[in-house]
Amino acid sequence: MSIALNDPWIRLNLVLTIGLVALLSLDRWPARSGSMQALTEVTANEVSNIRIERMDRLALHLQRTPDGWALRYPSDTKARPQRVQQLLAITRAPVKRTLTVAGTLAEYGLDEPSAIIRFDQIRLAFGERDPSQRDRYVLVDDEIRLIDDVYFNLLTLPARHFTGD
């Protein structure tokens, strides 16, 4: 049995099959090309202190102890580790886009950040939302990075969220 490539229906099916394979390959390409850049290079196991500042005031301080995580401010009590892990996930948040600080920080809301989180010596300042997407501007060292806005929402949670009270 031989296939006649001069038959228009067979050629059409062949072209459609090749197109479908190409589209499926392109759809799967990002998953195979590697992972996205993380917001920081620090890992959760390396962090021993987490501080959140809002409106230039300390709002929350968590500290790793030999017994696990403890809330140190605004009260002194044991913290729930799974809730602290939510904050630690910010360190590895996928960066959607990186901008250089070419203009003023004010245009990104980073001259007076909405919130600042510190993982030991690493300072992350959260500015405004990107108007075209659901992302948030974050100042990391001398770069502005965009991450999903859901990470900012973690910085607005009350202290009792982390203790389970």
Render pLDDT for 100-157 as a digit per residue (tens, 0 to 9).
887 779 999 999 999 999 999 999 999 999 987 789 999 998 899 999 999 999 999 9
| Cβ atoms of 38 and 95 closer than 8 Å | yes
Residue 39 lies in a domain: no
**Cα–Cα distances in Å, from 152 out to 21, 28, 94, 141?**
40, 30, 13, 18
Residue 133 lies in a domain: yes
| CATH number for 83 | 2.60.40
For the ranges 14-18, 24-28, 113-117, 152-156, the lowest mean pLDDT is seen at 24-28
The reply to whether 1 and 49 lie within a common domain is no
Total of domains in the chain: 2
CB neighbour list of residue 147: distance below 8 Å, 6 or more residues apart: 39, 93, 94, 95, 96, 135, 136, 138
The reply to whether 72 and 125 lie within a common domain is yes
Residue 103 lies in a domain: yes
Could you tell me which residue, 132 or 82, shows the higher pLDDT? 82
| Prediction pTM value | 0.77
Q: pLDDT value at position 19?
A: 67
The reply to whether 136 and 57 lie within a common domain is yes
* Residues spanned by the domain of 20: 1-34
